[in-house]
Structure 1
C-alpha cells in the first residue's frame, strides 16, 4: 500500500490545490458580505467588490484635487522606494558583516554578542527613538527597516559560513590564497544565493516595519493611506490596499526567487 507521504500531485493538480484556499476565502467573503449588506445596505465592514473597485478606481485614475497626483500610484511608489532603500542597504550590510563575523574569529568575538542582542530588540520599540534622533523624514523609516532586517541576515550568513566545510578553507590556504581571495572566490559565491533567500524571508517583516512607520509619521505611502482612512471606516479602501500590499510582497518574493535561480542555478539543489 502506497503511503500518503509518498504520493505527489502532478503539476496541474499542484497549481489547482494552490488556488483552492484563495478561492475559498473569496467565496466566504462574498457570502458574508452579501449577508451583512442584505441586513444593512449601509454596512461598511464588508463592502461589495463593486464598491471597492469604485473607491480604488477613484484613487488610481482620478487626480487628487489638492496635489494633482494619482494617490494610489503615488502611495505605491513612495512605499516601494523606502522598501527598496531599506532592503538594499540591509543586503549590503549583511554581506559585509555576515562574512566578517562568520570567517574572522576576532570579528566574531567582538561583534557577535552585540548583533545577537540587537536582533532581539523589537524594531518597532525603536521607532520613537529614530523619529527623535533622525526626524520624521525618509531616513528614519529606512533605518527602521535596516534595524529590523539586517541583524537577522547577518546572523544567518555568519551561521551559514560557520557550517561550510572547513576543508575548503584549508585547501585554499594551502594553495596560497589570501583572506581576500578566500572571501571573493569561495565564501562570497556560496553566500550570495543564501543572502538572497534570507532577503526573501525578510519581505514580510520589512513591510510590517514600513507600514508602522508610515502610519505614525508620513504624508504618503500605503501605510499612511490605510491609517488615514480608518477614521472614516473606509473598508472599501483599506481592504484593497491590504490586498495590494500582499500582491506586491508576492511579486517581490517571486522576483528575488527568479533572480536567484538565474544567477545561481547551481545552488538550488543545496539550499
Structure 2
C-alpha cells in the first residue's frame, strides 16, 4: 500500500496518551503539533512519579519526549486550547488527550466549609495544593498505587495515616506490579494502618467521619485532621464534544484518547494513542 497523504495533526495534551498519538502519527509521515497547557509534559504521570518508590514512571514520558524529538514533533507549552483556538489553527485532524479530573465524593461537605476544605483529592496533595498534617484518613476506591503512595508520602512527612478501603485488602492490585509484599513491609515500618471492608457514609460539619463495615453493617467513626480521597475520576472531555459539534462544518476529523475517553491506567492511554495515531 502507498504512504498515507501527509496531514496536519494537532494533539491537545502532552500526557502519555497524547505523546504516543504524536509519535505514531509522525511515524506515518504526518506533520504533528502537540499543545500542552502546563509548562512541562507528562500530565498526571509526572505527579505520580514524584512519590516514594514510583520514580520509574517518569521514564515513560522521558522516552516519549525523546522519540517525539527524533520524529520532528513540535510541542508547544503553556497553551490552553479551547475550540476556537483549535479551529484557528485549521488542522486536518485533532486528537483530544485532555485527561481526566477528580470528582468530589457525595459524602464530602462543601469545599468552602471548614470540614469540607480538609477533604482533598490525592492529586491536590501531590501537586502541593493541599498539605495535610496530623491524623490523615486516606479513602481508597481504586486499589492501586495512588493510595499507598500518598500514604507513604504523608507518613514520611510525619502524619499518622490510616487507609480505608471497601476491598478485602489495601492495594489489592499491587500484586500486578509485584509491589504488594514490599508495600506491606514499608507500611508496617511507617505505622500506616489499613482498615478494609469499610465505606464512608458521611463527614459531619465538625469533621467526624462515619464509616460502615459493609460485610456486617457495623458503624464506626474517625476524627481525622484531613481526609484524602482516591476515587474514580471523570473524563475531561468538554473540548472533544465541542469539536465534534463543529467537525462537519469545519471539515476537521476529531478523535480522543486516554483518560479523555475513560479514566484508566497508563498502558491504556498509550495503547489508545498508538492505535489512533497509526490509523491516521
TM-score (norm 2): 0.22
- Which structure is larger by alpha-carbon Rg, 1 or 2? 1
TM-score (norm 1): 0.22
